[in-house]
Amino acid sequence: MAPTIRSAGPADAARIHALMLGLAEHQGETPWLAATPASLESALGGDSPRVGCLLAVMDGRDVGYLSWTRPYGIWRGGDYLNLDDIFVDGSARGRGVGEALMRRFAEIAMSLDLPARWEVKTDNVAARRFYDRLGAEQSDKTIVRWSVAAMRSSD
């Protein structure tokens, strides 16, 4: 059975959060997941949602999601869609869910006439092969994070 891919909204916040927990556990990053169902509901709602999200459902179960934001790229000279997360539950991997999510994301980007970009860990070989099969261009880049709030305590 093929997955059903649909746009997620504020009412889906708890469902998306449950999948985000699955991603955090899969990556060993559960302590860093700060989003809550309430914060997701807020980000997905309102007149100008701050995040877009797709939900994948298969056999009546939520099995994956893809989220993105729309920032302005100063080097690009315009907006683009930044794929934030894509996750498919282990029980549904290899069944076309990830590809279906990516293809729907591509349709959204094309409908908005915007390019898409995202980041993937260098050592995530399976994901990099997956993106290769989709025809995505890849380059190595180090991601740097800076918790400026921590600087206040060291002043």
Contact 127, 120 (CB under 8 A): yes
Cα dihedral angle (17, 22, 23, 27), rounded to 10 degrees?
Answer: 140
pLDDT digits (tens, 9 = 90+) for 91-102: 999 999 999 999
Backbone angles phi, psi at 51, to 5 degrees: -145, 145
Question: Residue written as tokens 């025809």?
Answer: 135
SS3 category, 34: coil
Q: Which amino acid is at 14?
A: A
Which pLDDT belongs to residue 147? 76
End-to-end CA distance of the chain: 58
- pLDDT tens track of the chain, all 155 residues? 899 999 999 999 999 999 999 999 998 999 999 999 999 999 999 899 999 999 999 999 999 999 999 999 999 899 999 999 999 999 999 999 999 999 999 999 999 999 999 888 888 888 888 888 888 887 877 777 777 777 776 55
Which pLDDT belongs to residue 139? 82
The total domain count for the chain is: 1
For residue 60, give the CATH number of its domain: 3.40.630.30
Domain carrying residue 20: 4-154
